[in-house]
Amino acid sequence: MNSDSIVLGGGCFWCIEAVFRRLPGVLRADSGYAGGTITDPSYEQVCTGGTGHAEVVRVVYDTDQVSLDAILDLFWRAHDPTTPDRQGADVGPQYRSAIFYRDDAQRSIAEASRTEAQDRFSDPIVTEITPLDTFYPAEEYHRDFYENNPRHGYCRVVIEPKLRKAGFDSAPQR
């Protein structure tokens, strides 16, 4: 098996993690933080909007089963990349749309994907495409949040509709 990873920010990491866990070929979707200025930030620090970090998901995938193009296609469908520092009611720079690439090949694919995706949106895409410095895993209670808390209000009102919009069953996976 050949695996690779990319780090994506598309609003609340609970949503993006739940979406990517359902894509065939994805081995793991890990919530965390990237793009900021302090080492090993906490959720409370990131929530202030002052650390520069975004809530992100590191998507680890089997390159023999799913391509980076397919992952990015789902990324564009799973959130609104035209709203700066916002996804729905989640507002602040920690909720920005971002692709954190590992190398020049990923950067090229991400930029081409953004150009192609622009045709689907009437407003300009504001997604930043930037090199990944460090990915910091989120605290344990954030991991697999949807699967562990399916009756939580946020899960029912925000994540379930997002899963259905992306074409996935909204039932939690176990």
For this structure, is 12 an active site residue? Answer: yes
Tokens of 22: 């359902």
Residues 12, 15, 47, 155: which is the catalytic one?
A: 12
Say if CB 31 and CB 55 are below 8 A apart: yes
Helices (H), the chain: 13-20, 43-47, 68-78, 104-117, 145-148, 153-154, 160-165
Q: Which of 17, 26, 102, 111 is nearest to 71 (CA)?
A: 26
Active site residues: 12
